Amino acid sequence: MVFSSLIFVLKFLPIALFLMWITPKSYKNAMLLLLSLVFYTWGEVRYVIIMFVSIAIDYTCSNGIENHRDDPKKTKMYLLLSVFGNLSILFFFKYTDFAITLINGAFHTQIPLLNLTLPLGISFYTFQTMSYTIDVYRGHLKADRNLIDFGAFVCLFPQLIAGPIVTYGQIAKELKKRVITLDKFSEGVRIFIVGLSSKLLLANSIGLLWDDVLTLGPTRISTPLAWLGLVAFGFQIYFDFSGYSLMAIGMGKMLGFEFPDNFNYPYISLSMTEFWKRWHMTLGSWFREYVYIPLGGNRKGLARQIFNLLIVWFLTGLWHGASINFILWGIYFFVLLASEKLFLLKTLAQHKVIARAYFIIGILVGWSIFAITDLHVLSLYISRLFVFKSGIDWIYFTSNYGVILLACGLFSTPFIAKIKDIKLVAPVLKLSTALLFIISIAYLVDSTYNPFLYFRF
């Protein structure tokens, strides 16, 4: 089930909230687990097995570590079992076909593809359960003895399929005891509606512009339209993904959980270093905590640090999708981030205008690598960006999407957050939130266009 569907917002959510409300305290986690399993298995009954396997592995491993604290051999074995188990599941479902394609290409073999559908949210929950066992191993956490509580953490439906990536430590307290106040619930409702309308009204609408540009292809479009298309894609992916995260955070609050923020106005950044502190923050901290720092981080000299960065960005790229272009996308950020670390950041800090231009061009070129899977098309697209071709096609797209582009631009900045406490603005914002929800329902009903970009990550 996806959040931005009629069945979720107007059927599943009301039922879930009602059932959670009437369930007695001691059974709330069992009910949450049950609801999460219904949510997860909706349309993909078979894949629930993987979820159970994942729960079983990490429940066993974490408790194994807990029970053999004095035996470093055994604890290490349990840790390796968990990491190996989770990564195998992820690799098998997400990367097998990619690996087969590479092998077939390199050795001219004809190994058939598996053509597996990627289980929902697998990139997210394998990371979450793996980090849990690592944290238990490190002694940061005590293993959860309660299988239902642990299961509820793994399957927790608000953040199951698209993040934010929540580590066990962040919600351990709430998993055992949570208090829902009307204030907190209201805040959750507000955040949920903002997320839902980001996805439906902004991301989906502006996504149509990018779809048209991609349909026309790089050879038919003018250079201004090529740039405009990337602006549209940048807005689409931002409001899509941050919208999903906000819906998750909002529903978390309605249920009494505090999930970490995932986005913090990434497009106002003045460098890539800043961008990655504002974009998909829970993924960034996951890689820092469980890959970069274990590799030695910046403590083993500059050369080693650059190498560690390369590893992290190669993996970050690969995590986003099983395709060459995602690896290139990761490497692209590695190059920019490493250059910033070595010399660029100082220059950028002194020249704000240059920094902004550098950031905008850099991020848009980055999105072209992310969005275009076919490397031939990608190279044509990038040459269209930099080899000028005139045309009037952009006039149509700026006029048809003008209002939406402006709205996307405005909501990418902290403008609303800045004015929300002004006396007269607050009631207006409340009313707008209610209106946005009604408008969102209209768009849900008329959802001829409702693809979700992070669905299959």
Q: In angstroms, what is the minimal distance from the CB of 188 to other proteins?
A: 8
Q: Does 116 bind other proteins (CB under 8 A)?
A: no
Q: In angstroms, what is the minimal distance from the CB of 22 to other proteins?
A: 14
The residue (of 220 and 352) whose beta carbon lies closer to other proteins is 220
Binding span for other proteins by CB under 8 A among 55-63, 120-128, 215-223, 332-340: 215-223
**How many residues are present in the chain?**
457
The residue (of 165 and 444) whose beta carbon lies closer to other proteins is 444
The three-state secondary structure class of 275 is helix
Q: Does 13 bind other proteins (CB under 8 A)?
A: yes
Q: Which helix (H) or strand (E) holds 49?
A: helix 48-67
Residue from 401, 452, 454, 457 that binds other proteins (CB under 8 A)?
Answer: 401
Residue from 10, 49, 103, 116 that binds other proteins (CB under 8 A)?
Answer: 10
Q: In angstroms, what is the minimal distance from the CB of 421 to other proteins?
A: 16
Q: Does 70 bind other proteins (CB under 8 A)?
A: no
Q: Which helix (H) or strand (E) holds 1?
A: none
Rounded CA-CA distance 204/206 in Å is: 6
Q: In angstroms, what is the minimal distance from the CB of 280 to other proteins?
A: 28
Residues 6 or more apart whose CB falls under 8 angstroms from that of 296 comprise 304, 305, 308
Q: Does 215 bind other proteins (CB under 8 A)?
A: yes
208 CB neighbour count, 10 Å cutoff: 16
- Under rule CB under 8 A, which residues in 17-46 are in contact with other proteins? 17, 42-46
The residue (of 91 and 455) whose beta carbon lies closer to other proteins is 455
Give the residue numbers annotated as catalytic, written as ranges: 320
Residue from 106, 179, 303, 392 that binds other proteins (CB under 8 A)?
Answer: 392
Which residue type sits at 71? D
Residue from 441, 453, 455, 456 that binds other proteins (CB under 8 A)?
Answer: 441
Residues 6 or more apart whose CB falls under 8 angstroms from that of 143 comprise 62, 63, 65, 66, 136
The two most distant CA atoms of the chain are separated, in Å, by 72
The residue (of 66 and 258) whose beta carbon lies closer to other proteins is 258
The pair of structure tokens assigned to 271 is: 């460098």
The residue (of 144 and 212) whose beta carbon lies closer to other proteins is 212
Residue from 141, 162, 196, 221 that binds other proteins (CB under 8 A)?
Answer: 221
Q: In angstroms, what is the minimal distance from the CB of 248 to other proteins?
A: 17
Residue from 131, 404, 408, 457 that binds other proteins (CB under 8 A)?
Answer: 404
Contacts of range 351-355, beta carbons closer than 8 Å, 24 or more positions apart = 352/270, 355/270, 355/271
The three-state secondary structure class of 423 is coil
Q: Does 115 bind other proteins (CB under 8 A)?
A: no
Binding span for other proteins by CB under 8 A among 83-91, 164-172, 333-341, 444-452: 444-452
How far, CA to CA in Å, does 329 sit from each of 213, 321, 339, 393? 20, 10, 16, 28
Contact between 133 and 144 (Cβ < 8 Å): no
How far, CA to CA in Å, does 152 sit from each of 20, 53, 139, 190, 314? 13, 14, 22, 24, 32
DSSP E strand boundaries for 115-215: none
Residues 6 or more apart whose CB falls under 8 angstroms from that of 123 comprise 90, 94, 319, 457
Q: Does 420 bind other proteins (CB under 8 A)?
A: no
Burial 291-329, CB ≥16 within 10 A → b, else e: ebeebeeeeeeeeebeebbbebbeebbbbbbbbbbbbbb
Instruction: State the number of binding residues for other proteins (CB under 8 A).
Output: 55
Binding map of other proteins across residues 245-264, x = CB under 8 A, - = no contact: --------------------
- Alpha-helical (H) ranges within 259-413 are 272-278, 281-287, 302-320, 324-339, 345-350, 352-371, 375-386, 393-400, 402-411
| Closest residue by Cα to residue 89 from 128, 65, 123, 113 | 123
Residue from 216, 315, 331, 361 that binds other proteins (CB under 8 A)?
Answer: 216
Q: Does 350 bind other proteins (CB under 8 A)?
A: no
The residue (of 93 and 276) whose beta carbon lies closer to other proteins is 93
Binding span for other proteins by CB under 8 A among 97-105, 271-279, 290-298, 401-409: 401-409
The residue (of 70 and 446) whose beta carbon lies closer to other proteins is 446
Q: In angstroms, what is the minimal distance from the CB of 10 to other proteins?
A: 6
Q: Does 455 bind other proteins (CB under 8 A)?
A: no
Binding site for other proteins (CB under 8 A): 5-7, 10-11, 13-15, 17, 42-46, 182-183, 185-186, 188-190, 193, 208, 212, 215-217, 220-221, 391-397, 399-404, 430, 433-434, 437-439, 441-443, 445-448
